[in-house]
Amino acid sequence: MKALEGIKILDFTHVQSGPTCTQMLAWFGADVIKVERPGVGDATRKQLVDIEEADSLYFTMLNHNKRSLTLNTKNETGKEVLERLVKACDVLVENFAPGALDRMGFSWQKVQELNPRMIMASVKGFGPGPYEDCKVYENVAQCAGGAASTTGFRDGPPLVTGAQIGDSGTGLHLCLGIVTALFQREKTGRGQRILAPMQDGVLNLCRVKLRDQQRLERGPLQEYSQFGEGIPFGEATPRAGNDSGGGQPGGVLKCKGWEEDPNAYTYFITQAAVWPQICDVIGKPEWKEHEDLAEPKERLKRLDTVFDAIEAWTMTKTKFEVMEICNPLNIPVGPILSMKELAEEPSLRASGTVVEVDHPKRGKYLTVGCPIKMSDSPVEVVRSPLLGEHTNEILKQVLGYEDGQITDMHESGVI
């Protein structure tokens, strides 16, 4: 038994944002029917290809546990099949460019007429407003949602982050909207329309930066290192490098081997409660009573001095030794882990967060499993479907088509 067993998802998603959402629903136990254009499929199947003839890792890593149905939804017979799918499913998820579903003839109004219990969930780049008709990809969302203006170093350009907060982040927001709407439908019997704009999703994740924007109107942001360096603030929340986003100052510090290894660094947080332990561990016990350093407010003016001294100590240790020494003292630190280290980490393999999957065309590959662990709804990661792999099965089992009808549709290129 899985949490969403019995729920059918009509999955019209492509690229990353929508597929992140429907993959999560599939992991929670929903039957996800991915509808793809015959002969073409999700564009990512053929993007960043590393093995000829095999679906790309981009596709496989975002489409586990789904079934693939090919269907030309612009053809009359294809539209009939789609109508039957709308009637048979609980949720329609899509992330086409604005207006594409309407042009296909499946507006929200039409979908409601066909199936009043249907939940129709969309990712778009922007919500209602001047940019609502724009096509949007990850980095556009990061820029338009406030992440880029607050990421990077003060003296450098805005920076996008490697975490896919625009695509995968918005997909997760949409997923939450869908399960909430399913819960509400239990009481009302009605479906509803859900919109998760990427700009809104990114801004939601940048909530603390809008917090700082308002604090800035009342004076300088004292926990930003720029304050201690005596550099005046402008009108908007600045880029803060690796400063901690919370009230406890933190920074990225070099560790032993940093000259050769680009990831020989640690994050180190000078949490006020453990200041005495920090002083002892870095060999500065006198700083516990020092008039300029003993109090957190005073330290904010001298963070460079503090972090220089801590770094002089971390540079004598590997990032893992720093962790081993600091953890028992309750000093919050974290090694900068590379993708290679994460891929090889045994505990992540054991917990099912990094999973090895076998694929008929590409052989074994690694993927990220479900990051949410539920005690009563276990997840087994199943390889992504080949294009149209389940077309016949779905047409027969879910929609009750006969073999002859299916053959006709194959021959006329509808499926």
Q: Does 37 bind ligand COA (CB under 6 A)?
A: yes
Instruction: Map 306-349 to HEC letters.
Output: HHHHHHHHHCCCCHHHHHHHHHHHCCCEEECCCHHHHHHCHHHH
Contact in structure between 33 and 397 (CB atoms under 8 Å): no
Give the nearer residue to ligand COA in terms of CB position, either 40 or 236: 40
Question: Pick from 35, 194, 355, 381: which binds ligand COA (CB under 6 A)?
Answer: 35
Q: Does 317 bind ligand COA (CB under 6 A)?
A: no
Question: Furthest-apart CA pair in the chain: how many Å?
Answer: 87
CB of 361 to ligand COA, least distance (A): 22
Question: Pick from 32, 71, 240, 282: which binds ligand COA (CB under 6 A)?
Answer: 71
Q: Does 103 bind ligand COA (CB under 6 A)?
A: yes
Q: Which helix (H) or strand (E) holds 184?
A: helix 167-188
Q: Does 270 bind ligand COA (CB under 6 A)?
A: no
* Helices vs. strands in the chain: H and E counts, helices first: 18, 11
Q: Does 207 bind ligand COA (CB under 6 A)?
A: no
Give the nearer residue to ligand COA in terms of CB position, either 103 or 190: 103
Q: From 414, 415, 411, select the one nearest 393 (Cα to Cα).
A: 415
Question: Pick from 58, 121, 125, 226: which binds ligand COA (CB under 6 A)?
Answer: 125
Q: Which of residues 140-169 bind ligand COA (CB under 6 A)?
A: 167
Q: What are the helix (H) ranges across 69-135?
A: 76-88, 100-103, 108-114
Q: Does 16 bind ligand COA (CB under 6 A)?
A: yes
* CA 334 to chain centroid: 21
Q: Which stretch binds ligand COA (CB under 6 A): 30-38, 49-57, 291-299, 390-398?
A: 30-38
Q: Which stretch binds ligand COA (CB under 6 A): 34-42, 61-69, 268-276, 393-401?
A: 34-42
Q: From 11, 20, 26, select the one nearest 377 (Cα to Cα).
A: 26
Q: Does 106 bind ligand COA (CB under 6 A)?
A: no
Catalytic residue (one of 31, 55, 167, 243): 167
- Residue 293's CB is within 10 A of a number of other CB atoms, namely 20
Q: Which helix (H) or strand (E) holds 20?
A: helix 17-27
Q: What are the two backbone dihedrals, phi and then psi, of residue 366, each rounded to the nearest 5 degrees?
A: -100, 145
Q: Does 139 bind ligand COA (CB under 6 A)?
A: no
Give the nearer residue to ligand COA in terms of CB position, either 121 or 281: 121
CA distance 149 to 158: 5
Question: Pick from 5, 6, 97, 342: which binds ligand COA (CB under 6 A)?
Answer: 97
Question: Pick from 3, 104, 114, 195: which binds ligand COA (CB under 6 A)?
Answer: 104
Dihedral angle computed from the Cα positions of residues 226, 267, 259 and 282, in that order, rounded to the nearest 10 degrees: 90
CB of 413 to ligand COA, least distance (A): 11
For the chain, helix, strand, coil in percent to 5 are 40, 15, 45
Question: Pick from 26, 118, 123, 148: which binds ligand COA (CB under 6 A)?
Answer: 123
167 is catalytic: yes
Q: Does 172 bind ligand COA (CB under 6 A)?
A: no
Q: Does 299 bind ligand COA (CB under 6 A)?
A: no
Q: From 16, 12, 11, 5, select the one nearest 60 (Cα to Cα).
A: 16
Size of the site for ligand COA (CB under 6 A): 25
Give the nearer residue to ligand COA in terms of CB position, either 103 or 207: 103
Q: Which spans of this chain sit near ligand COA (rule: CB under 6 A)?
A: 15-18, 35-37, 43, 71-74, 95-97, 100, 103-104, 123-125, 135-137, 167
Residue numbers annotated as active site? 167
